Amino acid sequence: MTATVRVAPEDGSDATAPARPVPRRPSRPATSRPSSWYLLPAALFFGVFAAFPLVLVVFLSFTSWEGIGDPALIGLDNWVRLVGDARVLDVVGTTLLLTVLGWATQTPIALLLGVWAAGPQRNRAILSSIFFLPLLLSSAAVALMWSRLLDPYFGLAAEFGPFQNILGTPSGALAAIVFVTGWQFIPFHTLLYQAAARNVPKVLYDAATIDGATRWHMFWYITLPQLRNTIITSSTIMVVGSLTYFETILLLTNGGPGTSTYTVPFEMYIRGFRSFEFGYASAIATVLVVVATAISLIIVKFSGFAKMRSTMEGM
């Protein structure tokens, strides 16, 4: 749309000459913002299955309740008991140890397998499918399968001489948990690294090849920096998941031998569903939620992941 503007000439000529049309800027269309109603289903789901149970657990942590009848408010008694409970401190130490061992073993294996699976090797798709089979199994099925395989009398462990009673020693039981959880969850993290490695621009490797770089230099100086955000994401999932191990420990070692493989979730289960101390178990659960959330925030904060800078800027 244009507007007609007449301007009187300075030289005294006829002012009735046709005026020049002055173009008018096209009006911008009104941008439609998404309605907040779209958030309602997710907000309801989060509120019913996450926020409300968490509030209920925090409330129960200030009560004494055996699972029957009405909870009785006892103030901070559960929290005072929790602070001075030496067994809980040992359980926290075991949980952190399993978390560190799980991350240290799963991360390099998943990273290498993911980078390899993203390559053009022959039979790569078939071998990758075999590697990913544990993802199809539940944690309970995996734990039961390995408990039978590691049985010192009837399993495969009976064929390995001095190593037959693997689950009968504290160190062997911890190693078995790390191995079984790694066997189950490494394929998941491998998928993350495989997808990320396939998005690394091929031009980077071509330029490195022209410069005479070896495969090791390409992996160290190109692949790893490009996978930085994926490593942080995988590590966060891995660490938080390690803090919630329960089915594997229950079915593989049942916390034994003794209490050497008790973790915080398993201790919470023992206190609540075997000792019927649901108030004290709720206090342990609250601490677990706070610790897991704090670790996640620390990883995001100090890794720089919150900035979400693209590793392909300038490409």
More confident of the two residues 15 and 273 = 273
Residue 103 resides in a domain: yes
**Which residue range forms the structural domain that includes residue 118?**
89-262
Predicted confidence band at 29 (pLDDT cuts at 50, 70, 90)?
low
Residue 233, domain member (yes or no): yes
Inside any domain, residue 286: no
Q: Which of 123-127, 256-260, 304-308 has the lowest mean pLDDT?
A: 304-308
Q: Model confidence over 175-197: pLDDT tens digits? A: 999 999 999 999 999 999 999 99
Quote the number of domains for the chain. Answer: 1
137 lies in a domain?
Answer: yes
Is 251 contained in some domain? yes
CB count in 10 Å sphere of residue 85:
16
Give the side-chain half-sphere CA count within 13 A for 2: 7
| Domain contains 141 | yes
Q: Quick one: what percent of the chain has pLDDT higher than 90?
A: 57
In a domain, residue 56? The reply is no
pLDDT digits (tens, 9 = 90+) for 209-219: 998 999 899 99
**66-75, 114-123, 139-148, 214-223: range with lowest mean pLDDT:** 114-123
CATH of the domain at 146: 1.10.3720.10
Higher model confidence: residue 164 or residue 285?
A: 285
Contacting residues for 155 by C-beta, under 8 A, at least 6 apart: 148, 149
Q: What is the pTM of this model?
A: 0.81
Using the predicted structure, report yes or no on whether residue 64 has a pLDDT greater than 90. Answer: yes
Residue 102 covered by a domain = yes
Tell me, what's the pLDDT at 159? Answer: 73
